[in-house]
Structure 1
Amino acid sequence: MRIYTRSGDKGTTSLVYGKRVKKDDTRVEAYGTCDEANSMIGFALSQLLEIDFKEKEAIMKIFHKIQTALFHVGAELSTPKEKDVKWKVAQEWVDELEKIIDEWDAELDPLRQFILPGGHPAASALHVARTIVRRAERVAVKLDDEVNPLALSYLNRLSDFLFVSGRYVNHILGIKESVLHEES
């Protein structure tokens, strides 16, 4: 199978089931932004591969499942409304994110003020992924009733998860968070 098809050379692309749309279509922007977030998560994980820590295997397993789910969210966003979605987002996926958020957040210092994204490069990349997921959510909302509400819920919860993940990675690696200081 060749990577290039030349079918997009004139500014269009295919959705699932082959419907052609312009590359600036809201659906394309929504699933493309999910792909961007997924790539940033992969970049964050590549930073963690370089170091040894006891939670590494468990974290990698969790993120593999999340990257797979995010791929399915993108597939759902790229399926025209009138067509069946092969990989429907499920409530269990949202519930699982909430469970992990609660577990990891319980190990962190309570938030008393805003934190500044940063710390370990993996944590920083997770914060960038969080902002990309927020953008994906903003774009997907523009699709109104043309998208499974659970896809929106998943994106919303995923951004919360990525925020906690950035904090958690800094925590387990012993890196102190930087907090926002108001200028006097």
Structure 2
Amino acid sequence: MVVLSKIYTRTGDKGDTALGNGTRVAKHALRVDAYGTSDELNATVGLARLHAEGEADAALARIQNDLFDLGADLCNPEPEDGETPEYPPLRMVAEQTTRLEAEIDAMNARLTPLRSFILPGGSALAAHLHLCRTVARRAERLAVELAGAEPINSHAVTYLNRLSDWFFVAGRIANDDGAADVLWVPGANR
């Protein structure tokens, strides 16, 4: 259990921060950017939840919890060869992505196939879910960039990739099962 008795520590006043393993790095480090963006994504999911009810809200609550798991994973570098951490870091697992895939398949079964790209919008919930989708894509790009620079848990990247798909399909569900999707009309304003 986490206990936060003091919110400010002054330890980051000079522009560095501690990773989950205690290593100090610059606040602009790629790893910090990656888990910071997953935190930003979590905040956008919180906004979407203001417009969600029932199972949609419950699914978003599960995703918010997963995003904290993701942040915990990304803020803890992989141990050096032969190093055994005193407390093994929390890592994303394949089952979290598998759950998203099952939810995507169930939602997608309700939808007619797309015949056009759609524009973000429609209902308030759909618009917020599209914002979540774009932040998830940015978080994924940062995680992929981080993976190119140092080892990370591959399940973190896979989860983010699938999560953006989840937000896209959920956005269509939030638009009256796609009936209220806002369709792109190529060249409409020429």
The TM-score normalised by the length of structure 1 is 0.90
Structure 2 counterpart of 1:101: 104
Structure 2 counterpart of 1:156: 161
SS at match of 2:8: coil
Q: Structure 1 residues 175 and 41 mapped into 2: Cα distance closer, same or farther (>3 Å)?
A: farther
Structure 1 counterpart of 2:64: 67
Q: Per-residue deviation at 1:85?
A: 4.7
Q: Which runs of 4+ in 1 moved over 3 A?
A: none
SS at match of 2:25: strand
Contact persistence 1:115–1:179 (CA under 8 A)? yes
Matched ranges for 1:137-152 at <5 A: 137-144=140-147, 145-152=150-157
Quote the Cα distance in structure 1 between the aligned partners of 2:69 and 2:88. Answer: 10
Structure 2 counterpart of 1:78: 75
Which moves more between the two structures, 162-171 or 149-158?
A: 162-171
Contact persistence 1:26–1:139 (CA under 8 A)? yes
Q: Per-residue deviation at 1:17?
A: 2.1
Q: Per-residue deviation at 1:119?
A: 1.1
Matched ranges for 1:17-32 at <5 A: 17-32=21-36
The TM-score normalised by the length of structure 2 is 0.87
Q: Per-residue deviation at 1:110?
A: 1.0
Quote the Cα distance in structure 2 between the aligned partners of 1:41 and 1:169. Answer: 14
Tell me which amino acid in the other structure corresponds to 1:164.
V
Give RMSD over aligned pairs.
Answer: 1.6
Segments of structure 2 that go 5 or more residues without pairing to the other structure are: 80-84
Matched ranges for 1:41-52 at <5 A: 41-48=45-52
2:92 to 78, 89, 94: 89
Quote the Cα distance in structure 1 between the aligned partners of 2:186 and 2:161. Answer: 28
Tell me which amino acid in the other structure corresponds to 2:160.
L
Contact persistence 1:108–1:171 (CA under 8 A)? no
Which moves more between the two structures, 140-149 or 65-74?
A: 140-149
Tell me which amino acid in the other structure corresponds to 1:42.
G
Segments of structure 1 that go 5 or more residues without pairing to the other structure are: 49-55
Structure having the larger proportion of residues in helix: 1
Quote the Cα distance in structure 2 between the aligned partners of 1:44 and 1:143. Answer: 28
2:113 to 110, 114, 117: 110
Quote the Cα distance in structure 2 between the aligned partners of 1:8 and 1:18. Answer: 13
SS at match of 1:21: strand
